[in-house]
Amino acid sequence: MILAIDIGNSTIGFGFLRGGRVSHVSKIEHMPGSELVMAKLDNFLASANERYAIKKVIICSVVPDTQKMLSKKILKVTGHKPLIIGRDIKLPIKNRYKSPRQVGKDRLLCAFAVRELYGAPAVVIDLGTAITFDGLSPKGDYLGGAIIPGLRLSAEALFEKTALLPRVHIAEPRKVIGCSTEESIQSGLFHGFGALCDGMVLRLGEEMKCRPKVVMTGGYADVMKRFMKHHVEAVDDELIFKGMGLLA
């Protein structure tokens, strides 16, 4: 059993891999410095190691401090020093970013997984704390892309930076024209971001001079697909863990 860990800005995802396949995934809310989260992590790791006898641990992280803390816990609990993507494992994909080290390892890993599992050219949309759009050339090279605030981040910014707009529950709107402030914000989040995804795919394809397939991942991917008009090749919630499985 291999434990693949995705350390994001909002959550820490744990993917359990056997024979290169994802058997199941668990997630814990990421709150740096929280004693409750630390206790949850200790209990989770001890329970997982006792149940599965973990043989290898791989980490993909965009939060360096959490990576260091979790690496120490993993070594103590499992006896295995985790392999860090980008440090111990080099991603086998050509990176055309102007400054290659600036690209988040999660973006590169998802692009690599899409190339291997779905082919290229492609646009990878990851709906996390931030929404990222990443292009893969027909040869499977990582081209770069775009980053915008995610749904939850945008909703919180509206609440925090305005005097009269309320904090809303992020839920699918029933129609485009909202008949209350809450419905209007929900419409803007889902229909607005759906239109944004359509427009970005179109513009990325024009710049790439091809018709890329679209693969989506992340917390709101399943829902957002329904608000897009562009054809989506696949929604893959386990994409980043499958990428780590391929590397393992």
| SS3 assignment, position 95 | strand
Predicted TM-score (pTM) of the model is 0.91
Instruction: Give me the count of residues in the chain.
Output: 248
pLDDT of residue 183: 94
Distance, CA of 173 to CA of 185 (rounded, Å): 9
pLDDT digits (tens, 9 = 90+) for 117-141: 999 999 999 998 899 999 999 999 9
Cα radius of gyration (the chain): 19
Residue-level pLDDT at 138: 96
What is the predicted pLDDT for the residue at 17?
A: 93
Same fold, 2-84 and 100-247: yes
CB within 8 A of 53, min separation 6: which ones?
A: 1
Supply the pLDDT for residue 130. Answer: 92
* Cβ proximity of 97 and 142 under 8 Å: yes
pLDDT in tens, 71-87: 999 999 999 999 999 99
d(CA 154, CA 185): 10
- What was the pLDDT predicted at 39? 85
Q: How far is CA 227 from CA 114, 157, 163, 187, 201, in A?
A: 22, 22, 29, 10, 14
- Buried/exposed code over 215-247 (b: 16+ C-beta within 10 A; e: otherwise): bbbbbbbebbbebbeeebebbbbbbbbbbbbbb
20 phi and psi, to 5 degrees? 80, 0
Q: Which two tokens stand for residue 100?
A: 């290659």
Mean pLDDT (whole number) for 182-189: 94
Angstrom CA distances, 236 to 90, 106, 125, 127, 170, stand at: 23, 14, 10, 11, 21
CATH code for the part of the protein at 2-84: 3.30.420.40
Using a 10 angstrom Cβ sphere, with 0-12 exposed, 13-18 middle and 19 or more buried, the burial of residue 132 is: buried
> Which entry of 65, 88, 106, 126 is annotated as an active-site residue?
106
Calpha distance 247→113 (Å, rounded):
9
Q: How far apart are the first and last CA of the chain?
A: 11
Catalytic site includes residue 6? no
Fold topology of 100-247: Nucleotidyltransferase; domain 5 (3.30.420)
Mean pLDDT of the chain: 93
3-state secondary structure at position 81: coil
Judged against a pLDDT cut of 80, whether residue 102 lies above it is answered with yes
3-state class (DSSP) for residue 21: strand
How confident is the model over 44-63, as a mean pLDDT? 91
Cα–Cα distance for residue pair 188/178, rounded to 1 Å: 9
34-55 burial by CB neighbour count: b if 16+ within 10 A, else e? eeebeeebeebbeebbeeeebe
Domain ranges of the chain: 2-84, 100-247
Over the stretch 136-159, which tens digit does the pLDDT of each residue have?
999 999 999 999 999 999 999 998
pLDDT above 80 (res 194): yes
- The helix or strand, by DSSP H or E, that contains position 169, with its residue range, turns out to be none
